[in-house]
Amino acid sequence: MTANTLQEAFDLTKRFTSKPSNEELLKLYSLYKQATEGDNNEERPGGFDFVAAAKYNSWLALKGKSKEDAASAYIELVNSLSTKYM
């Protein structure tokens, strides 16, 4: 099964039978956030919350990428991962 829209791709990730790697999860997260919210304008997480910091930095790295380009990249990534995790 392949996804053609952002929502279909998001729904497809819920049907993965095993968990993608942390690197793949970060890429999924950042592309989804960029596609749905645009550039990261949130406050940088502090302290020792390394997961939040990794998510923040991953999303920040996509600054300037259009929502449409991020959505296309997200859909492409989900379709690629679906062959591996379904």
Q: For tokens 């993608």, name the residue.
A: 20
Res 75: pLDDT: 98
Q: According to the model, what pLDDT value does residue 47 have?
A: 83
Which residue ranges form the domains of the chain, and what is each CATH number?
Answer: 6-40+47-85 (1.20.80.10)
Q: Is 45 helix (H, G, I), strand (E, B) or coil?
A: coil
Least confident of 1-5, 71-75, 78-82: 1-5
Q: Is the pLDDT of residue 1 over 90?
A: no
Q: What would the two tokens of residue 40 be?
A: 């990261």
Mind listing the pLDDT tens digit for each residue in 15-69?
999 999 999 999 999 999 999 999 999 999 988 999 999 999 999 999 999 999 9
User: Helix 6-13 crosses helix 67-85 at what angle (to 10 degrees)?
Assistant: 30
Other C-beta atoms within 10 Å of 17: how many?
Answer: 6
Q: What is the pTM of this model?
A: 0.94
- Is pLDDT of 71 > 90? yes
pLDDT at 67: 98
